[in-house]
Amino acid sequence: MTIVVEKLDLGGGGRSVMVKDTIDVAGHPTRASSRALEEASDADCHAEVVQALLNAGCRLVGKTSLHELAFGTTGLNAWTGTPENPRYPGRIPGGSSSGSAAAVAAGLCDFSLGTDTGGSVRIPAACCGVFGLKPTFGRVSRAGVMPAQTSLDCVGPFAADIDTLIAAMAAIDPSFQALPAVAGIRIGVVPVAANPEVQAALDAALEASDFALHGAPLPGMQAAYDAGLAVINRETWNACGHLVETGLVGADVASRLLAAKGTTDAALANAEAIRAAFTAEVDAALASCPILALPTMPDYPARVVDAADTRAAIGMTAFVRPFNLTGHPALSIPFEGASKLPVGLQLVAAKGADELLLAVARELVRRLEQ
């Protein structure tokens, strides 16, 4: 199984960390698990988030594999090899930050960093049974992270427990504050169409958490999902489309890139209008309930043998991509369904309320462990 694409030994004696191979580490190439970047030059300097890790005393021990060019949700990669799902063998690790989630699930590091453009931290977190956070858009520096230009992508941490996730965020976000109190917090439950076992497991967890629960429909989610796909298609084509000409991009990603090339200016303008409308819709829901809850994924992770058609798997991101479009912080908490397979509970908070999001997640986990 290919989880680590390059071993490193940098930094202090603190928590051990691995980073997705879209994040620059000085003196090492950033290849994004793509043969088309096999001959990439070494990075001249650390990404700002890597420097933040080193400043916090962390030890950088490796770079992790990913779905090629971070453009896929399954984590399958024919060139580097697909990381095995350590806790759920035979199931996809999820993408695109597959190696970062698998590294934490396998106990290879204390925490890891991935990137999330359309669910690429939360999806693999749910698949591998670990915690994963997509911070508020723009809160964690992306300087030195591929792609350079994006209106969706966020660097975020994975960890096996909520306290380590919080510590990771404190290390990479200089503005991170002490977590607030959560007494009296209302959780808005977003109705979605999910596998009954997935929904039952998460309903039971929310009920047992003893938070006040209220319905919080978001009727614009499907339109926001479609709009998010249009934006990521245009932005990924702009960043990586030139690599198709090398003939070295994997067939699955190359076909998605060529399809993305056809994203029209009109489709993008429509997507931006939907972005504004859905952002207002989510903000209104959060004004009533400061935390929203819904499944991370509609179903259990697919078997690796069934997941070869990447385009067919895009629907895995139906519940996560809309919050990339809006920029709200969101995290995935690991649970299991009746079939002993992984499900994720996604919590969403207001922009900038990353501390509240983590505080509620910590309290929810604490209550369920009692």
Distance CA 356, CA 229 (A): 28
* Residue 16: strand pairing partners: 59
Half-sphere exposure of 103 (CA within 13 A, CB side): 34
The dihedrals phi and psi of 29, each to the nearest 5 degrees, come to -75, 150
**pLDDT in single tens digits along all 370 residues of the chain:** 699 999 999 999 999 999 999 999 999 999 999 999 999 999 999 999 999 999 999 999 999 999 999 999 999 999 999 999 999 999 999 999 999 999 999 999 999 999 999 999 999 999 999 999 999 999 999 999 999 999 999 999 999 999 999 999 999 999 999 999 999 999 999 999 999 999 999 999 999 999 999 999 999 999 999 999 999 999 999 999 999 999 999 999 999 999 999 999 999 999 999 999 999 999 999 999 999 999 999 999 999 999 987 665 778 999 999 999 999 999 999 999 999 999 999 999 999 999 999 999 999 999 999 8
* Residue 303: strand pairing partners: 91
Sheet with 59-64, edge to edge strand ranges:
4-11, 59-64, 16-20, 111-116, 154-159, 131-134, 330-336, 342-349, 291-295, 186-189, 212-215
Domains annotated for the chain, with CATH where assigned, are 4-369 (3.90.1300.10)
Q: Left if phi > 0, otherwise alpha if psi is -120 to 50, otherwise beta: which for 249?
A: beta
Catalytic residues: 20, 96, 120
DSSP string covering 259-274 = HHTT--HHHHHHHHHH
- Token pair, residue 172, equals 């990479």
